[in-house]
Amino acid sequence: MSVTLLAGSATATASVAAAVENPGAAPAATAAPTAPVENLIVGYKASATEASSNTAAADDANAKGKKAGKKAKFDRRLGTGAALVNLGGATAPADAANVMAQFRADPDVAYVEPDTRAYAMAVTPNDTEYAKQWDLFEPTAGMNVPGAWDKTTGSGVTVAVIDTGYVAHSDVAPNIVSGYDFISTSSEARDGNGRDSNPADEGDWNATDGECGVGSKASTSSWHGTHVAGTIAAATNNSKGVAGIAYGAKIQPVRVLGKCGGATSDIVDAITWASGGSVAGVPANATPAKVINMSLGGPGACGTSYQNAINAAVARGTTVVVAAGNSNANASGYSPASCNNVINVASTNRAGERSYYSNYGSIIDIAAPGGETRRATDTPGTVTTPENAILSTLNAGTTTPGAESYKPYQGTSMAAPHIAGLAALLKSANTSLTPAQIESAIKTNARPLPGTCTGGCGAGLADAAATVAAVTSTPPTSGRENTTDYAIADNSTVESPITVTGVTGNAPATLKVGVNIVHSYIGDLKVDLVAPDGSVYTLHNRSGGSTANINQVYTVNASSEVANGTWKLRVNDNAGGDTGKIDSWNLTF
């Protein structure tokens, strides 16, 4: 199968024993204040009475204030042992400096400094095109990315962009790590050979109509992978171009799409390699990705080849993000969008409605900005509202690479990297998160679409700041995963429990059950999810024959079940000769 592009006072009186270290040091020099000061922080030497007595510190503050002609009052003791001295309100810098001079002249004072203010560091990036990136910051339909940058920028995480490869661009180059070209056929790769270690985008243009099958049209090169890469991790605060969502992360370009798209066999190998698996004839990946973005797809239900590769990638700890498709149809009819174990992303426009082209359906997990370069009623092929699309890094070459550029694109191809970038932010902020936990956090912390979505857009519009805050404050899936091994003996039944608390109401109609069972013959096994009230939902019933291991995410309509309580994964072995274990399982609400 070939696939194509889917283009954020009470005064203390108690005596304390804390004291300032280095009692013999002279009072530290502090720059004169340049803004009004309300409080001073005074550190006394350990030998001074004021270091251990709040009463003495209060008397000293009062006396020094009088000498400087200003009010000064002991407020409280800091955790370090230093005294906080209140100047009675905003005090002009020169007057505050006079009070500080009185303290500094006292040999019992180790240091004195103004109680200055700190501010969130997520200031507006100085990238020259940032103001056009509505998808990151606009309150209506942006993804609230700046609010997440105070806590994480994606540092330490590699995101594999399985796409057309990468054409050199100075706004992405600082965040590129070595990738690979998985296109097997020389004519499709346009680089004179098959697979190699150079993932450079050689262009995916088609010279004539029909060249790539009936109905295909001549086209220029898209430089699609570079556009996706810029959305995820363009260099930021470099006074150039655009800002990336996870600009501290690294991009691993993995080339699978060339002339006339790409083959499933190549993409499956790319998924395996990018996530740290082994592919015959290909060197090991030195920097395996913790997030994979696939803004690609084609018609048809998810095949076994795709599903096996995705399952294995997730088992290695890699979150897989895919585009829903651009056919204004149910995503269940497209692949890899219809695969299990992925985060399936629909596209929204600047008004927060489902983009007219975006696929939809019950299998959509989340929506993210994908933009619209034209309205649904505009003539197909025209570009009437470029300001409402997703601006990112590109190239001006029509066939082979030319000068680097920036251009707005629309598509679920543009929505998916928003979620891949968010996944990188989450993994960086909390390295213990599993792919299931990352998906759960994104969905749980989404906000309702401000517009409409006929057909279904999953949990809503992703919110980066809310999601990052959730995973950095409390465990996002406390009590929703069991990693204890439970042995599966011949002709026996074993259960692994998960106790769920803190979830309001019933379980969802799309409860995700992640199952990782190690067993040499899964045709022996019946696997059930048992709800807290004893209701049984069959996940796997003695299918698969001699296939080894179950590593899959199942979707269960558990909307009639109260979410809180003890859920169980029940495994029944119905034959002899093969044994195994429940390695782990999880619930995603």
CA dist list (Å): 332 to 96, 295, 301, 339, 510: 68, 16, 7, 9, 14
Contact 301, 333 (CB under 8 A): yes
Render pLDDT for 457-477 as a digit per residue (tens, 0 to 9). 999 999 999 999 988 874 444
Q: In what order do the strands lie in the sheet with 73-77?
A: 73-77, 83-91, 37-44, 109-114
Q: How far apart are CA 43 and CA 103, in angstroms?
A: 10
What pLDDT, on the 0 to 100 scale, is given for residue 145?
A: 97
Q: What is the arithmetic mean of pLDDT over 372-378?
A: 89
What pLDDT, on the 0 to 100 scale, is given for residue 20?
A: 33
Collapsing DSSP states into helix, strand and coil, what is residue 425? Answer: helix
What pLDDT, on the 0 to 100 scale, is given for residue 169?
A: 98
Contact 174, 168 (CB under 8 A): no
What pLDDT, on the 0 to 100 scale, is given for residue 478?
A: 43
DSSP 516-540: EEEES-GGGEEEEEE-TTS-EEEEE
Active site (annotated) includes residue 463: no
Q: What is the arithmetic mean of pLDDT over 370-397?
A: 92
Q: What is the arithmetic mean of pLDDT over 167-190?
A: 95
CA dist list (Å): 229 to 8, 70, 146, 377, 570: 19, 58, 18, 30, 42
Element (H, E) at 497: strand 493-500
The model's confidence at residue 505, banded by pLDDT at 50, 70 and 90, is: confident
Burial of 488 (0-12, 13-18, 19+ CB in 10 A): buried
Catalytic residue among 275, 347, 392, 413: 413
Q: What is the arithmetic mean of pLDDT over 399-415?
A: 96
Collapsing DSSP states into helix, strand and coil, what is residue 97? Answer: helix
Q: Hey, which of 320-324, 505-509, 583-587 has the most confident mean pLDDT?
A: 320-324
429-458 burial, b at 16+ Cβ within 10 Å, e below that, comes to bbeebbbbbbbbbbbbbbeebebebebbbb
What pLDDT, on the 0 to 100 scale, is given for residue 3?
A: 64
What pLDDT, on the 0 to 100 scale, is given for residue 7?
A: 64
Kindly tell me if the per-residue pLDDT of 181 is higher than 90: yes
Active site (annotated) includes residue 224: yes
What pLDDT, on the 0 to 100 scale, is given for residue 552?
A: 83
Which pTM value belongs to this model?
A: 0.67
The model's confidence at residue 214, banded by pLDDT at 50, 70 and 90, is: confident
What pLDDT, on the 0 to 100 scale, is given for residue 398?
A: 96
Kindly tell me if the per-residue pLDDT of 252 is higher than 90: yes
Beta strands of 105-249 (E only): which ranges?
A: 109-114, 158-163, 180-181
CA dist list (Å): 189 to 193, 205, 222, 228, 252: 7, 11, 15, 19, 18
The model's confidence at residue 121, banded by pLDDT at 50, 70 and 90, is: very low
Render pLDDT for 515-532 as a digit per residue (tens, 0 to 9). 989 998 999 999 999 999
Kindly tell me if the per-residue pLDDT of 536 is higher than 80: yes
The model's confidence at residue 1, banded by pLDDT at 50, 70 and 90, is: low
Kindly tell me if the per-residue pLDDT of 126 is higher than 70: yes
Catalytic residue among 75, 127, 163, 573: 163
Domains, in order of start, for the chain:
37-115 (3.30.70.260), 130-207+217-472 (3.40.50.200), 481-588 (2.60.120.260)
Residue scoring higher pLDDT (480 or 176): 176
Task: Identify the weakest region by mean pLDDT among 111-120, 163-172, 357-366, 466-475.
Answer: 111-120
Catalytic residue among 224, 227, 418, 540: 224
Share of the chain above pLDDT 90, in %: 74
